[in-house]
Structure 1
């Protein structure tokens, strides 16, 4: 499968006092480096966020207008891809326990339109494998402020149950402090 990735790293991090989530560290690596390792199977990676040094080549972009939410970031990231892959891995940068194995499980569970990681609470996380044609068809004309739930509602996605801490995100300083080592 020809795969690209869009890493969403451009939010406000309001509950983290505006800290740059991509630069936060866990287990000796930044959250962005964890995300890049998880998306290693992707031939092309777009990071929607501010440019920072990375261990592999990526394209950095920002949505316009800025801070339009995850759907605006995803649509902007998809638009920045140099080519049209079969599928796009979508990953929020604040999920440091998502690994290449997580992505492989999404690929293997691939439903007609892709797959989504589901946390222990039964909710889908921003860890997705989306068929590019399905993503393009579902993307709203104006993605600014659009809901991820609305974007995914019309898609036939396989649900992949999170293992261990894969579904654990970091939204607050307490979340960061309480990450398992």
Structure 2
């Protein structure tokens, strides 16, 4: 797989954690958002959507409209900063401290598998690929997508919602897209593990040691 971009969503309210800046919380001595950005260190460009006091060099930073408008509004803001010729994008939550570059690489192979020429299969090519957890639930903000498909979905949803993406659920954005669901079968902790509570952060810290 060639060049891809990455959009990392860091604007959540973290209500279950008292409203802290969750992506800035350290796991293994590094803020979670920095760990996610490192996992996509080969992406061009890398975009962080949300508040950020300090980010690694070269990362583009923007905010969703309105601030706090949710992941779909944040995805739209992030995609607006991609280069015109970007074909693939990793769309990621910023609270995935166990994400690895190998996991992202594995997802990307599902968008253009080398061993499955289009002429030899009747299966519709996927618009994206994301991990599923052990119960089969999609981890939609731990996935990779065709930029054209996401932009078309954003345009459709904007019209359906009367011009505003604020508060739109991710499932509404992805409705109608062909999604390849990928179970994690590699070594180590699941890369889709997100930190929604203090206990999740403690568990991730143990895994990261």
Residue of structure 2 equivalent to 1:137: 152
TM norm structure 1: 0.93
Once residues 132 and 84 of structure 1 are traced to their aligned partners in structure 2, the CA distance between those partners, rounded to angstroms, is: 9
Unaligned residue ranges in structure 2 (runs of 5+) = 112-124, 159-163
The RMSD of aligned alpha carbons is 1.4
Once residues 56 and 123 of structure 1 are traced to their aligned partners in structure 2, the CA distance between those partners, rounded to angstroms, is: 34
Per-residue deviation, 1:172: 1.0
In the alignment, structure 1 residue 123 sits paired with structure 2 residue 137: yes
| Corresponding residue SS for 2:80 | helix
Per-residue deviation, 1:82: 4.0
Q: How many residues align?
A: 181
| Corresponding residue SS for 1:64 | coil
In the alignment, structure 1 residue 156 sits paired with structure 2 residue 178: yes
Would you say the 8 A contact 2:65–2:74 is kept in 1? no
In the alignment, structure 1 residue 97 sits paired with structure 2 residue 98: yes
| Corresponding residue SS for 1:80 | coil
Would you say the 8 A contact 1:84–1:132 is kept in 2? no
| Corresponding residue SS for 1:150 | helix
In the alignment, structure 1 residue 175 sits paired with structure 2 residue 200: yes
Would you say the 8 A contact 1:105–1:160 is kept in 2? no
- Computing the radius of gyration from Cα coordinates, the structure with the larger value is 2
Residue of structure 1 equivalent to 2:161: none
Would you say the 8 A contact 1:87–1:129 is kept in 2? yes
Q: What is the CA deviation profile of residues 104-148 of structure 1, one whole-angstrom value per residue up to 9, with x for unaligned ones?
A: 011011253121111112111111111011001111212211111
| Corresponding residue SS for 1:129 | strand
Would you say the 8 A contact 1:94–1:170 is kept in 2? yes
Per-residue deviation, 1:87: 0.8
Once residues 85 and 62 of structure 2 are traced to their aligned partners in structure 1, the CA distance between those partners, rounded to angstroms, is: 17
Once residues 201 and 53 of structure 2 are traced to their aligned partners in structure 1, the CA distance between those partners, rounded to angstroms, is: 21
Per-residue deviation, 1:162: 2.4
Once residues 2 and 174 of structure 1 are traced to their aligned partners in structure 2, the CA distance between those partners, rounded to angstroms, is: 36
